C-alpha cells in the first residue's frame, strides 16, 4: 500500500512529505495504523549523516505506537483492533545464538533496523515511524498494555528500553546510588525507571534550569556538570551511572564519581571518539561499558513494568510540519522531554 511519510532526502536537507510503499501483509505480519511516533536524538544523528551510515531517502522514527488494522493468516499474538508498539528493530535472523536468547539487537546477521537499514533480504530499504502505517512481522511488534497513555508510551519503545535494559543488566535495586547524565528523552526515562526500581537517583546535567524537573521526575539530588568543581562532593559515590548525553564530552570527571566496582554505562552515542585516562578506571576498579537498546522480550517486560508503575514519558505533542523545528529545539536542548508526533498529521 502507498503510505504518507516524512523523509530526509539528504543529510543537509530538512524533512519533507514523502510517499512510501509498505508491503502486503504476509502470513506472520501485522499492519498497524500508526497513532504516535516519538522523536529520538538518533533520528537527528542519522538524518544528518552524523554516524556516517546514512541511507537516503530516510524516513526516521523508531518509537511507534499503533493499532492493528490487518493480521496475516498465521498471526497468533495480535488481532485486529489491538494496540501494538514497534521499536528500533523490525526483524532479525531468528536462528543465531543472540536471537535464540532473546537478544535480537545482537543478531549475528545484524537486525533489520526500523529505518536507515534493510529488511533481512538485505535489499529492501526499511522506513520508520514518521508515517501513517507500518507492516511488521509479529515477533517484532510489542503488546501495549491498555492502561498506558498512548502518547506518553511511544517513547518507551526506544528511550524506555534503552535505559531500562542497562538498569536491569547492572542489577539496579533499592538503595543503589544511580546517576543519570543528560536529562533529555533517554535521561528523563532513566530517572523515572531507576527511581521506580528503588534507587536513589542523582541527575548530572549541563542545564541548571532542569533541577526542579529532575526532582519532580524522581531524583533525590542534582549536580550541574558544567560548574567547575561541582562533582567533587560526589566523589566515589555511585554504583551505576547511565550516560545519556548526545554530544561529545569528557568521561574522566564522571568516572571519578563511581564507587568501587561501579560502572558508567554509555547509552548516548556522540559522533566522535573520547579519551579516557587509565587511572580514572584503575582507581576503584571502575568499569566503562555500553548498552544497545534491548531485546524484544525485555522490551515487553519494560512496557509491562511501566504499566504497573504508571510510567510514561513527559512529552510535547507536535504535528508533522513541526518536525524540523523540533530537531532544532532538541539541538538547542529545548525539549521537555520528548517530542511525539501525532501520526494523523503525516497525511495532511
Q: Are 245 and 181 in contact (CB under 8 A)?
A: yes
Q: Residue 185 binds which one of Zn ion, ligand NAP, none, with CB within 5 to 8 A depending on kind?
A: ligand NAP
Buried b (16+ CB within 10 A) or exposed e, 186-222: bbbbbbbbbbbbebbbbbbbbbeebbebbeebbbebb
Q: Residue 96 binds which one of Zn ion, ligand NAP, none, with CB within 5 to 8 A depending on kind?
A: Zn ion
Q: Residue 207 binds which one of ligand NAP, Zn ion, none, with CB within 5 to 8 A depending on kind?
A: ligand NAP
Q: Pick the closer one to ligand NAP by CB: 176 or 243.
A: 243
How remote is the C-alpha of 253 from its chain's centroid? 25
Binding to Zn ion by CB under 5 A, coded x per residue (else -) over 72-111, reads --------------------xx--x--x-------x----
Q: Residue 92 binds which one of Zn ion, ligand NAP, none, with CB within 5 to 8 A depending on kind?
A: Zn ion
Binding to ligand NAP by CB under 6 A, coded x per residue (else -) over 250-269, reads -----------------xxx
What CA–CA distance (Å, rounded) separates 247 from 279? 24
Minimal distance in Å, beta carbon 257 to ligand NAP?
A: 15
Using CB under 6 A as the binding rule, whether residue 185 contacts ligand NAP is answered as yes
Residue 27's SS3 state is: coil
What CA–CA distance (Å, rounded) separates 307 from 58? 32
Tell me, by CB under 5 A, how many residues bind Zn ion. 8
Using CB under 5 A as the binding rule, whether residue 163 contacts Zn ion is answered as no
Minimal distance in Å, beta carbon 246 to Zn ion?
A: 11
Minimal distance in Å, beta carbon 293 to ligand NAP?
A: 4
Q: Which residues pair with 290 in a beta bridge?
A: 266
What CA–CA distance (Å, rounded) separates 114 from 61? 8
Q: Pick the closer one to Zn ion by CB: 40 or 153.
A: 40
Q: Out of 5, 65, 157, 244, point to the residue binding ligand NAP (CB under 6 A).
A: 244
Q: How is the chain split among helix, strand and coil, in percent rounded to 5?
A: 30, 30, 45
Q: Residue 307 binds which one of Zn ion, ligand NAP, none, with CB within 5 to 8 A depending on kind?
A: none
Minimal distance in Å, beta carbon 41 to ligand NAP?
A: 3
Q: Which residues pair with 118 in a beta bridge?
A: 125
Cell numbers 531517502 label which residue?
Answer: 57
What CA–CA distance (Å, rounded) separates 304 from 319? 28
Whether the CA torsion 134, 136, 140, 144 is positive or negative: it is positive
Residues near Zn ion (CB under 5 A): 40, 42, 92-93, 96, 99, 107, 158
What is the binding site for ligand NAP (CB under 6 A)?
40-42, 45, 158-159, 162, 182-187, 205-207, 210, 244-247, 249, 267-269, 291-293, 330, 333, 335
Amino acid at each position: 500500500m502507498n503510505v504518507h511519510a516524512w523523509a530526509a532526502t539528504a543529510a543537509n536537507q530538512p524533512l519533507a512529505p514523502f510517499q512510501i510503499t509498505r508491503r502486503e501483509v504476509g502470513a506472520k505480519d501485522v499492519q498497524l495504523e500508526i497513532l504516535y511516533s516519538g522523536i529520538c536524538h538518533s533520528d537527528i544523528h542519522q538524518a544528518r549523516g552524523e554516524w556516517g551510515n546514512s541511507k537516503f531517502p530516510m524516513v526516521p522514527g523508531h518509537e511507534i505506537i499503533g493499532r492493528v488494522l490487518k493480521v496475516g493468516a498465521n498471526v497468533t499474538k495480535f488481532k485486529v483492533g489491538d494496540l501494538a508498539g514497534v521499536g528500533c528493530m523490525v526483524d532479525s535472523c531468528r536462528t543465531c545464538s543472540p536471537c535464540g536468547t532473546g537478544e535480537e539487537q545482537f543478531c549475528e546477521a545484524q537486525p533489520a533496523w526500523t529505518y536507515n537499514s534493510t529488511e533481512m533480504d538485505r535489499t529492501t530499504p526499511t522506513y520508520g515511524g514518521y508515517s501513517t502505517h507500518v507492516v511488521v512481522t509479529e515477533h517484532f511488534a510489542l503488546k501495549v498494555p491498555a492502561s498506558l497513555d498512548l502518547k506518553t508510551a511511544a517513547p518507551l519503545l526506544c528511550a524506555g528500553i534503552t535505559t531500562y535494559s542497562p538498569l536491569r543488566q547492572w542489577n539496579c535495586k533499592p538503595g543503589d546510588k544511580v546517576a543519570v547524565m543528560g536529562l533529555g528523552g533517554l535521561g528523563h526515562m532513566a530517572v523515572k525507571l531507576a527511581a521506580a526500581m528503588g534507587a536513589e537517583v542523582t541527575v548530572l546535567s549541563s542545564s541548571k534550569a532542569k533541577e526542579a524537573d529532575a526532582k519532580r521526575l524522581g531524583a533525590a539530588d542534582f549536580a550541574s556538570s558544567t560548574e567547575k568543581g561541582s562533582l567533587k562532593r560526589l566523589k566515589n559515590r555511585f554504583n551505576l551511572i547511565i550516560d545519556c548525553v548526545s554530544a561529545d564530552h569528557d568521561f574522566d570527571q564522571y568516572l571519578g564519581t563511581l564507587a568501587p566496582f561501579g560502572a558508567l554505562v554509555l547509552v548516548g552515542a556522540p559522533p566522535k571518539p573520547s579519551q579516557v585516562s587509565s587511572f580514572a578506571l584503575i582507581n576503584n576498579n571502575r568499569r566503562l561499558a555500553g548498552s544497545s537498546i534491548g531485546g524484544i522480550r525485555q522490551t515487553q517486560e519494560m512496557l509491562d513494568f511501566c504499566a504497573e508503575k504508571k510510567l510514561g514519558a513527559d512529552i510535547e505533542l507536535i504535528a508533522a510540519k513541526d518536525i524540523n523545528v523540533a530537531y532544532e529545539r532538541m539541538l538547542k536542548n529545548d525539549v521537555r522531554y520528548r517530542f511525539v508526533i501525532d501520526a494523523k498529521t503525516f497525511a495532511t
